Amino acid sequence: SAEYTTILSEVRGRVGWITLNRPEALNALNSVLVRELIDAALAFDASPEIGCIVITGSERAFAAGADIKEMADHSYAEMAVGGPFPGWGGFERMRTPVVAAVAGFALGGGCELAMMCDIILAADTAKFGQPEINLGVLPGFGGSQRLPRAIGSYKAAELVLTGRMMRADEAERSGLVSRVIPAAELLDETAQVAATIAAKSLPALYAAKDALQAAQEMPLSEGLRFERRAFAAAFATEDQKEGMRAFTEKREPNFTHR
């Protein structure tokens, strides 16, 4: 959209694409970029024409973190009242599945942005890390909470306390990355994955994402009750009838996304 200066936003079929675009700063997440990213993502999330959102960067960097130059001189009070980073709550609560397509650096806030997405596809050039400790701080966009949940507490502690980077293969082994893809194929493969998701029943996608997110927060017994209710509710949708009818009629389903 024309009014954005730090991202590119476009619709491809039922997929909303957001490309972080501050090449001069390796896509460092300054307040303008964060505001534009969240604005574009929430607009896609509000549209029934969009069934999947992709967030990507450049070949060199997904994002090299929060913008250090912008925040260096902030006071405690400026950070405590939200400073340059309001709105992540809305991003995290989006109903639409979000795919991060990561090439190059995903550091600090960049790694944390990837972890706010549902699926992380990584080029073999991807490098992940939480280097905030080298700056005299700690992760600030959820890294200290999501990284241990993703890769386990001991591996997360080693990364957060040393600030070292890990490459795509180690990230995949650790469970941070859904799949590693040769760099030259990252965007095509991401487009295929996103189109595959976006073609599904929208209410089913929303419910499945909701249940997957509940799994991060709830004890098993509560999560299973949550899932049971959501599963029953799926039978109130037109798409459930169509999906199951198409199976018995041995044809592809034609979802109405209702």
> What SS3 state is found at 245?
helix
Which of 145, 148, 144, 138 lies closest to 79, judged by CA?
Answer: 138
| Residue 176 near ligand CAA by CB under 6 A | no
Collect all residues with Cβ–Cβ distance below 8 Å to 45 and sequence separation of at least 6.
Answer: 53, 94, 95, 96
- Is 152 considered catalytic here? no
> Does residue 57 touch ligand CAA according to CB under 6 A?
no
Q: Which position among 61, 66, 126, 198 bears the catalytic label?
A: 66
Query: Is-catalytic flag, 185?
Result: no
- Check if 132 is active-site: yes
Least Cβ distance, residue 39 to ligand CAA (angstroms): 19
> Which of 36, 132, 172, 239 touches ligand CAA (CB under 6 A)?
132
Q: Structure tokens of 11? A: 């619709």
Active site residue 57: no
Report the run of H or E that residue 224 belongs to, with start and end. Answer: helix 220-234
Is residue 66 close enough to count as binding ligand CAA by CB under 6 A?
yes
**Integer Cα distance of 149 and 240 in angstroms:** 32
Q: Angle of helix 220-234 relative to helix 202-217, nearest 10 degrees?
A: 170
Nearer of residues 57 and 140 to ligand CAA, judged by Cβ: 140
Residues in the chain: 258
Candidates 13-21, 35-43, 136-144, 216-224: pick the segment binding ligand CAA (CB under 6 A).
136-144
> Which residues contact ligand CAA (rule: CB under 6 A)?
25-26, 28, 64-69, 105, 107-109, 112, 131-132, 135, 139-141, 143
Residues with a known catalytic role: 66, 109, 112, 132
